[in-house]
Amino acid sequence: METSKSSSNPYVYDKPVTGDKFFGRENEIQQIEKALNETKGGIVILGQHRIGKTSLLFELNNRLDVNQFVTIHFDFLTLGGSPAEIWSGMAKQIARQPMMNPSVSEDKNSQQRIPTPPPTFFDDEGIRFQREFLQEVYNVLPSPSQRLILLIEYFDVVLSSLGFENQRNPVLQALIRISNEERRTVIIFAGMRESGKWEVEFRDLLTQGQVFNLSVLNRESATRLITSLSENIRYGPSAIERIFALTNGHPYFTQLLCSKVFDAARASSTADVLSVPQTLVDSVVPDVLREGETVFERMWESVSSHERPVMSALTELMIKEEPSLIFDRLHSRKQDIPFDQLTTLLKNLVEMQLLEEVRGNFGFLIPLFGLWVKERKPLQQTIEESKAQESAQQKEERNEILVNFALNDRPVGEDKLGYDDYAKAFAQVLANPDTKTPLKRDWG
C-alpha cells in the first residue's frame, strides 16, 4: 500500500467529475431520461453556481443509449459573441462528431459528410441553422429513429452579454422554437437560477418543457463522497457530521473542504491511513473561505440589492431565525422595509437555493456561505452599498425616461441635423443637474 505521503489527493473541486467520482443525482438522471422520451419543448436544469450542473450533463452524456440519442455538449462561453457566431460554433461542433463522418475511409483527404458553413451563412434568428443545417444532420445520422440531444451550458451568461432585450433575444427565441418544432432534437439548457432572471424568456418553453432544479446532495450521497474516494483516509463520525453541517451536501464545497482536510492531515502525519477528527475539519475552514472566494462572490452577485441586506442581517442572528427578528435587526440599522416585502425576499432567496426554511425559520442553505457573508459582507456595509446601487439605478432609469421623452419630439424622417445626439445630451443634463457642460459662452 502506498504511504499517505505519496498518495494523491482524491478530491476534485476545480473541474467536472464523472464515473466513480460522481455521487448521487440518480433520481435526477432517471427523471431526465424519462423526460427525454416524453418531452417536447426542451429541458431546463437550473441551479446555483458550482452545484454540479456540468458534472450532471457529462454523466448524462455517458449514460444515454447511443443507439437512441446522439448527445453533443456545448459550452456557450466558447462559441463566440454574436448570434451568427454562436450558430456557426454549434454547427462546427456537431459536424465534428464521429457519427457525422465516414466510419471507414481510406482517403485521407475525404471531407466531412456535413460541411460547416461560415458565420455569414447563418442569420441571427437561427432559421438557416434549423431548416437547412439540422436537416443535413438528420440525413447522415445512422438511424432515422436517433435523436439529437443538445446539452447547452452557460447559456444564461452568454445570452445576457448579447445585450438584447429579454423577449427579443434571437438566440434564445430560436432555441425555444427549435425545441418546440423539431421532433428529432431535444435541447437541455443548464444555467444559473438568479433573482428575477429567465422567467420571461422561458415562459413559452416552460409551458411545453420540463424544469429541474438542482440542489445539494442528500446526506447518504454526501457521506459516500466524503468517505469513498480514498482508502488512505478515515473520518471520525463527528468529522463527517461537521463537514455535512458546514456544506449541507453542496458537492463543490464538500469536495473543497475535504481536499483541504486531506492536505492538512497528510502534512501532519506519516501514517499509511490518515485519521480525521472534527478539530482538523474546523482548522481548515479559513482556507476554504479563501479558496472559495470567487464562488462565494458569484453567489452574492446573483441576488438583488434588496436581498443582500437580508442575508447580512441573518449572520448577526441565530443559525435559523424567524422573519420578525430579521425585520427588527434591519430596522435597527435604518433599513426600512415593509414586513410583507421582507417575507417575499426571504421566500425568493429560498427559491434561489441560498437560504432554507425550517418550520418558519430561515437560515443559509450552505452554512459556509453564511460564514463568508459574515466575514466579508457586514450588515452596515451592505446596507450602504445597496442604497448607493439603488440610487444609481434610479438615476439611470430616470435618465432613460427623459431620453425617450426628448426623442418623441424628433421630426419624422432622416435625422440630418443629429437631433438624437442633442436630445440625449440634453436629457443627461436634466437627469444630472450637477453635470458641467463643455459648452462655451459664445457657442451658437
SS (H, E, C) the chain: CCCCCCCCCCCCCCCCCCHHHCCCCHHHHHHHHHHHHHCCCCEEEEECCCCCHHHHHHHHHHHCCCCCEEEEEEEHHHCCCCHHHHHHHHHHHHHCCHHHCCCCCCCCCCCCCCCCCCHHHCCCCCHHHHHHHHHHHHHHCCCCCCEEEEEEECHHHHHHHCCCCHHHCHHHHHHHHHHHHCCCEEEEEEEECCCCCCCCCCHHHHHHCEEEECCCCCHHHHHHHHHCCCCCEEECHHHHHHHHHHHCCCHHHHHHHHHHHHHHHHHHCCCCCEEECHHHHHHCHHHHHHHCHHHHHHHHHCCCCCCHHHHHHHCCCCCCECHHHHHHHHHHCCCCCCHHHHHHHHHHHHHCCCEEEECCEEEECCHHHHHHHHHHCCHHHHHHHHHHHHHHHHHHHHHHHHHHHHHCCCCCCCCCCCHHHHHHHHHHHHHCCCCCCCCCCCCC
Pick from 222, 248, 199, 153: nearest CA to 351: 199
Quickly count: other Cβ atoms within 10 Å of residue 13's Cβ: 20
d(CA 89, CA 86): 5
- pLDDT tens-place string over residues 72-119: 988 887 877 788 889 999 999 999 887 765 543 444 444 457 878 888
Instruction: State the pLDDT at residue 405.
Output: 62
Residue ranges covered by each domain of the chain:
25-213, 219-291, 294-377, 383-431
The residue assigned the cell 466531412 is 112
Same fold flag, 25-213 and 294-377: no
Pick from 271, 305, 283: nearest CA to 386: 305
- pLDDT tens-place string over residues 366-403: 999 999 999 999 999 999 998 888 777 666 666 666 66
Topology (CATH) of 219-291: Helicase, Ruva Protein; domain 3 (1.10.8)
Assigned CATH for 294-377: 1.10.10.10
Assigned CATH for 25-213: 3.40.50.300
Mean pLDDT, consecutive 10-residue segments, the chain of 444 residues? 61 93 93 82 85 92 88 83 88 85 46 77 94 93 89 74 60 85 89 58 61 92 96 96 97 97 94 94 98 95 92 89 91 90 94 92 96 96 89 68 61 60 64 57 45
